[in-house]
Each structure stands twice: as C-alpha cells, then as structure tokens.
Amino acid sequence: MQFGNKHVVVTGGGTGVGAAVATAFSQAGAKVTIFGRHEEPLIDTANKINATPIACDVTDRDGLDTALTRATAANGPVSISIANAGAALSAPFSTMSSSDLSAMIDVNLVGVFNLWQACLPQLMEQGWGRLIAVASTAGLKGYQYVSGYCAAKHGVIGLTRSVALELARTNITVNAICPGFVDTPLLDRSVENIIQKTGISHRDARQSLMANNPQNRFIEADEVASTALWLAGEGARGVNGQAISICGGET
C-alpha cells in the first residue's frame, strides 16, 4: 500500500498504457481517477480496478477543470498527475496540413500542459507531488511520416525540463517517460496504416516497427507502469527534469 494516501489522475486511462498505469497505482493502494474521451472503455477499466472514471477531453481546458473538480470531490486532492493521453497521425510531411500539425500539438502537448497546470495548485498546497508525462522516443529522435507527432513529443520534453527547474525546490518532481513502440491499440492503428499504404502483410508491418528496438520486441505497457510507480515513489525524489527512455537500447 505504498500510495495509500495518494490520489492519482491518469489521462487516456481507459486503454493501453494509461489503463496499465492506472491498474498499477490502484494495486499499490492509491485512489485513482481515469480521464478519457470515450466513456465505455473508461467504465470498463474502472470497474476492474476500482477507479473513478470521468469522460473529458484534455484539449478542452474548461472541460478538464470541471472533470478535475469532480475527481477531487470523489478522491481528495490530486498528488500525482500523469499525462498519458496522446494520438499519432501518420503522413508524409509534404502532404500534412496546418490543421494536422495543430491536432498533434493539441492532444500530445497542450493536453499535458492543461493537466499539469490544472493539478499544480493542489500539489503546491500539499507541498509534495509528481507531474509525469508519458511521452515517447519520438520526443528524443525523429521518425519518418510522423513529423507532427515528433514535434509535439519534443515539446513535451522541453516542457518537462523547464517546469522541473521552476518547481525544483517545492518537493514536486517533473519527469517524462519515453517508451519506444508499445504493444497497444495505438500500435495496432499504426500497423494498419502501414498495411494500407504499402500492401505488406500484418506480420511484416509489425516487424518493421519492432526492428527499431535492438531487443527485437515491442515494449509492454507494464514496463511503462512500473517506471511511473518508481518515479512517484520516494526513492526517485531526486529524479527531476528527466526523459527516461524505455526502448531496449534504441538510439
């Protein structure tokens, strides 16, 4: 019951990495609230792990503030804020529109900004807290055909490092987790996109992404969840402003 007195909020908590993170914190004794745009998977996950599901869009600050008010009423002040919601659009740079770029920035970067800024007053009042972003190796390097996604995730790393310095003397740490390709529904959509555009088999499409990892495998969601648990614990109190890569050695 390491986090028995903590309230954890996880965005994109209904499926994939977000659900794994929410599950890990619930099992560690925390009160957990999961946010997401789609109510059905939120409720399904919440029922399995005894979490509070609240539907909201992280790009809508007013809606997020309302959701956070509900979460606080249900589970008390937020201590650990985990910005996990994200999306990836695959397209050549030459065919992207400005609205495509804006969509990537909004959900992947502005969504982190909105959640962290909304939660920060509660962390400051407690004199302790954790701000964690689930970013990506796309925040540390470039990948073909996802330039908007890479730009947004690079922005998350910059935001993380800057906010970490501002809060360094407050007992609030700020860090990003940067997994490589994780075996989740988001990866499945990337595989389908490759198949549609190239005509290769499902197996070959998955292998083309897996080949980025020197361990020749996909990262599992529980690896991201374990890292989040560690960052939230007292043993990581000196870890601040970091972008922790979980990628099997990918460079």
Residues annotated as catalytic are 149
3-state secondary structure (DSSP) of residue 220: coil
Cβ-proximal residues to 156 (8 Å cutoff; 6+ apart), any chain: 108, 109, 112, 133, 135, 139, 176
- Looking at the DSSP bridge assignments, the partners of residue 232 are none
For residues 140 and 206, the answer to whether their CB atoms sit within 8 Å is no
Question: Phi/psi of residue 58, each to 5°?
Answer: -65, -15
CA 40 – CA 232 distance, rounded (Å): 28
Helices (H), 28-146: 39-49, 61-75, 98-105, 111-126
